[in-house]
Structure 1
Amino acid sequence: MENPVKAKEDLQEILNQREYQIYYEDNRNFLEIWWDNIKAWFRDLLADWLSGFEPSNGFADTLLIILIGVVFLLAIFGIFLVLRSVKRKKALQEHQPFQSLNEMEWSVERHLKEAEKQEQAENYSLATRHQFLAVLLYFHERQWLQAHVWKTNWDYFAELQRKDKQRAEAFYELARMFDEAVYGKRKIEQKEYQNYREKALKWLGETDEKEIKEI
């Protein structure tokens, strides 16, 4: 009989050959190893949370995929909100709508009267400005926001958003066109201004354009 030690060494040498070792090698790539480790961790976590319950591999894997999907969607939604906020802040330029304290002392009716005057002169950009200031002062009178000379339209939008998101959205649309007309130097056409005036007057409550008193 051959030497048992020699036979064992020969067998080990055979097993060390490539064609045998390949069956023992882990051929998974980094992502597969990472994913398998995550699944194993999650199955252990479920077993700890649900005392006495041994989740099957299929159940744990499905639940894990669902949770990852939910987290992914929430992350996408969060990114969308951040990007929209940045875009809106850029649209509402860092300028104060009131250029002087004197303009804040004007009444809503006086700004509307000035808007009407500029409309008749076909100066629609300036008419847009006074329509917007009338709305801004009206919101101030209703205590929906606090108007100050140093505040920007972004400040007003953020203030309104904390109280009434629907009103804030309407204000944003008016403020965006105001900034484009006044600071963006965009020429406002007659039809565009008329649509703007209609939207603005909807927020002026009982203030009727036809009842503006002579200043």
Structure 2
Amino acid sequence: MKNLDKAKEEIRSILDGKEYQMYANESKSIFTIWWERAKEWIANQLEKLFPSLESASHAAAGPVLIAIIIAVLAMIVVLTLLLVRVQLRKRKYWDNKPFTSMKEMEWTYQTHLNEADRLSSLKEYSLSTRHLFLALLLYFHEKEWLMARIWKTNWEYYDELQKVNKEWAERFFNIALLFDEVTYGERIVTKEEYLQYKLQVLEWLRKIEEGPNNAAK
């Protein structure tokens, strides 16, 4: 018990000591300086954006600026979370393989397009979306922009296409998203989504046929 009381006295003595108080005050003063500088900088930016505001230096000491800082920080956090969510969504299914059988690879891209039309007439829009994507993939294979293999993933196809044309690779990336969600995420495609998807695929194929320069537009 005496040892415990002695330890308490020593801790109290340290906390009340001059050196500790100087350190605490110095830390507090550094934080205060940073805070004042941050508020002053934001106040100056507000003054530039909104010249009609009264003195921005007055706002720096008031609750209005603090509210603005909190709002900006909250916005940054929300945007960061959204970006992370988008990236995770993009990569979620990319380790899966688009071709599930040799039969799908043996078809020509035109056969897949015909099958997509047949399925869409039956209102099987999810399956039709799948065949549209496989048609695009096999078309690129015929052009020798990538090598279609049953064991390859969309990520590998994307990497191959990047070596040919980076803009095409990015477009392929976005088109592959819906395919992956339909095939592996069991997403149900609506008629409107399917028609928009079909337009993207067919329009791209048409522009490629017209010439490489048109395909990038």
Regarding TM over 0.5, the answer is yes
Deviation, structure 1 residue 93? 3.6
Q: What residue in structure 1 maps to residue 189 of structure 2? A: 188
Once residues 123 and 142 of structure 1 are traced to their aligned partners in structure 2, the CA distance between those partners, rounded to angstroms, is 29
Q: What residue in structure 1 maps to residue 127 of structure 2? A: 126
Deviation per residue, 1:45-89 (Å, 9 max, x gap):
xxxxxxxxxxxxxxxxxxxxxxxxxxxxxxxxxx99x95655522
Deviation per residue, 1:116-155 (Å, 9 max, x gap):
0000000000000100000000111112211110011122
Q: What residue in structure 2 maps to residue 143 of structure 1? A: 144
Once residues 135 and 176 of structure 2 are traced to their aligned partners in structure 1, the CA distance between those partners, rounded to angstroms, is 12
Q: How high is the sequence identity, in percent, across the aligned residues?
A: 42
Q: What residue in structure 2 maps to residue 99 of structure 1? A: 100
Alignment of 1:1-215 (within 5 A): 28-29=26-27, 86-90=88-92, 92-205=93-206
Once residues 200 and 150 of structure 2 are traced to their aligned partners in structure 1, the CA distance between those partners, rounded to angstroms, is 24
Gaps of 5+ in 1: 1-20, 33-78, 208-215
Amino acid at match of 1:116: D
Deviation per residue, 1:1-32 (Å, 9 max, x gap):
xxxxxxxxxxxxxxxxxxxx99xx88744996
Runs of 4+ aligned structure 1 residues displaced above 6 Å come to none
Once residues 29 and 163 of structure 2 are traced to their aligned partners in structure 1, the CA distance between those partners, rounded to angstroms, is 44
Higher relative contact order (CA 8 A, sep 6+): 1
TM-score normalised over the length of structure 1 = 0.56
What RMSD, in angstroms, separates the aligned Cα atoms of the two structures? 3.3
Once residues 31 and 142 of structure 1 are traced to their aligned partners in structure 2, the CA distance between those partners, rounded to angstroms, is 67
| Conservation of the 8 A alpha-carbon contact between 1:135 and 1:203 | no
Cα pair distance change 1:159/1:29, threshold 3 Å: same
Cα pair distance change 1:187/1:126, threshold 3 Å: same
Structure (1 or 2) with the greater helix fraction: 2
Q: What residue in structure 2 maps to residue 74 of structure 1? A: none
What SS does the aligned partner of 2:205 have? Answer: coil
Cα pair distance change 1:180/1:86, threshold 3 Å: closer
Greater Cα shift, 118-127 or 96-105: 96-105
Cα pair distance change 1:154/1:116, threshold 3 Å: same
Once residues 31 and 198 of structure 1 are traced to their aligned partners in structure 2, the CA distance between those partners, rounded to angstroms, is 62
Once residues 117 and 163 of structure 2 are traced to their aligned partners in structure 1, the CA distance between those partners, rounded to angstroms, is 32
Once residues 139 and 122 of structure 2 are traced to their aligned partners in structure 1, the CA distance between those partners, rounded to angstroms, is 25
Deviation, structure 1 residue 201? 0.7
Cα pair distance change 1:31/1:187, threshold 3 Å: farther
Q: Radius of gyration: which is bigger?
A: 1
Amino acid at match of 2:91: K
Deviation, structure 1 residue 163? 3.4
What SS does the aligned partner of 1:150 have? Answer: coil
